[in-house]
Amino acid sequence: MLRVMLVDDEKVIAKGLSVLIDWESEGCEIVKIAYDGLEALDYLRNESVDLIIADIRMPGMNGLELLRTIREENVSDAYYVILSGYNDFSYCREAMRYKCMDYMVKPVAKNELLAILRKVTNESEADREAKERRIEYEVSYLNNTLVSLLVGKKDSFGFDYVKEHMKLSENVRYINIEYEGSQADEAENTQQTKQKKLYEACCALLKDNADHVIPGISADGDNFGIGLIFSGFMADDLGRGVKGWLSELKSKLEASVGAPLVLIAGRNVEDIEDISKSYGTACILRSVISFREKKDVYFYEEELRVSSGGVVLCKNSLDALLKDISENDTEGIDKDVDILYDEMKNMGVSADTVSLNINYLLFRLVHLASEQDNEVDQEEILRYISESSFEEGVLRGGSVHLKRFAREYADYLGQLRGNMSGGVLLKVENEIKENYAHNLSLREMSSRYYINSSYLGQIFKKKYGKSFKEYLTEYRISKAADLLLHTDRKISEIGGMIGYMDNDYFLKKFIEIKGCTPSKFRKNRTNH
């Protein structure tokens, strides 16, 4: 309902306007009748209205003075209509300077008043939609800017925009939040729905700080988790440290989404400008936490800390394992892993011992891949390691898990050396064109064409300049655009036709790629 205020020193006129039409049926509610400008101004300083209909001549403060005051002092941005017994256009010219919408001459005719109200209703709806789009664009831009900062793309405008639009303090860190366990076998629509539920639950809990939540990014790019920019004031406001705050957040989120979650905290940095360092450490930590005992929240500083109490690097065993991985020697890999675990067992297998040795191994594995192809994307390698660390049914930190992972990585290195892409990329491209509306994934493609998923991701990105997921999304949206222009199907129906059962997710992706909503896209192209 539009909130309306009538302002006229002639009580008969004011009362007459209030009963001239059925205001409620026009979607309006008269919330205040004021009998002079000062009374109206006092009300507006404490209450909001959508429409003001004010007489031009009143004692104390007339209608023009009221309009000028509320505009200059930013008291109200309500639509304003002048009511005058004088057909004097000089009043109108003055009023238009202060965004007066229209004027009516006394005595007011019913049809004239109805026309004004319907004009206000239409403009109000248009303004509301424009405001929603503006907010949507601002949220999207802020998210995209944060994602750029996370991956190390720095620019001064981005920093300034984030600092202007977010509440920040010292002690910032990136938090990865995702569902526990593998989601690889779930349909993409199921993953999208779960991600949306997690995102909305986190925003609801953070309330005024919901802009710190980032949808669509996690330490593993193919995992439908969310990101959170933690800032020290969040815990300080509640009088507890970061550990207590994150543990409580995890508990509340799990109650909201009805599923266990994993929270991974990158290392603490002083300022948002260094957030990429925190994000990078969260990626590293996520690749190795399968070797850790289960915790509410994993902190980089704790999990990758090496004590000075005699922890030893099993360098000879690790180097032997790395050599056999490089040579794709399956039997040698199994033997090397057994030797490594026997050596760690003899040392007492502390958390620090496992941390030191496993992280040395992972660091060297990334280096091995870089040696095979100097253009290899290290983020892709980390993603592959991360995926391999979260398979279901694998004991945390067990030698069986490490053997399987090492064999797969050896195969991956072999494919990098042999450049085995052949016609696989053409087949994958055809799969997208023919089955874009289905639940396609890089993992499914790699299994179908017998090629390592990480390597397939590498060569796909090298050829097309974008990831498999980005390519699929852009292809789907191009098909949606074509359907918008050449059919009269509903927007929600089109989303389903191209593979998006969640209409909100479809709208989000369409706006990201086309820069406007589907309805605006259809309207703009149709009018040209």
Task: Give me the residues paired with residue 174 across strands.
Answer: 229
pLDDT for the residue numbered 394: 29
Q: Which residues contact 471 (CB under 8 A, 6 or more apart)?
A: 432, 460, 464
Amino acid at 113: L
| Long-range contacts of 393-399, Cβ-Cβ distance < 8 Å, separation of 24 or more | 394/290, 396/290, 396/291, 396/292, 396/293, 396/294, 397/290, 397/291, 397/292, 397/354, 399/337, 399/338, 399/340, 399/341
CA distances from 6 to 9, 16, 40, 74, 102 (A): 10, 11, 9, 19, 15
pLDDT score for 138: 72
- pTM of the entire predicted model: 0.49
- Predicted pLDDT at 392: 35
Assigned superfamily of 2-129: Response regulator (3.40.50.2300)
Indicate the Cα dihedral angle 216, 221, 223, 224, nearest 10°: 10
CATH of domain 166-302: 3.30.70.270
Query: Where along the chain do its domains lie?
Result: 2-129, 166-302, 306-418, 422-528
Long-range contacts formed by 148-157: CB under 8 A, 24+ apart: 149/272, 149/273, 149/275, 149/276, 150/174, 150/214, 150/217, 150/227, 150/275, 150/276, 150/279, 151/276, 151/279, 151/379, 152/276, 152/280, 154/273, 154/276
pLDDT of residue 237: 63
Rg (CA), the chain: 31
Long-range contacts of 21-30 (CB under 8 A, 24+ apart): 21/110, 21/113, 21/114, 21/117, 26/114, 26/117, 26/118, 26/121, 27/1, 27/2, 27/121, 28/1, 28/2, 28/3, 28/4, 28/117, 29/1, 29/2, 29/3, 29/4, 30/4, 30/5, 30/6
CA distance 184 to 182: 6
Q: In what order do the strands lie in the sheet with 2-7?
A: 28-34, 2-7, 51-55, 79-84, 102-105
Report the CATH number of the 422-528 domain: 1.10.10.60
3 state SS for 335-389:
HHHHHHHHHHHHCCCCHHHHHHHHHHHHHHHHHHHHHHCCCCCHHHHHHHHHHHC
From first to last of its 528 residues, the chain has per-residue pLDDT tens of 889 999 999 888 888 999 999 999 988 999 999 999 999 999 999 999 999 999 988 888 988 899 999 999 999 989 999 888 765 556 666 777 778 888 888 888 899 899 999 998 888 888 777 777 776 667 777 777 888 788 777 666 677 888 888 888 888 999 999 888 755 556 667 778 888 899 999 999 999 898 899 886 644 445 578 999 999 898 876 667 888 999 999 999 999 999 999 999 988 988 888 888 888 878 777 766 665 677 889 998 777 654 444 556 788 888 899 889 888 898 999 999 889 888 877 766 565 666 667 767 776 777 677 666 555 565 666 666 655 544 432 234 567 778 888 888 888 777 766 655 556 788 888 889 899 988 888 878 877 876 777 778 777 887 888 888 889 999 999 999 999 998 989 998 999 999 888 888 888 889 888 888 888 888 887 665
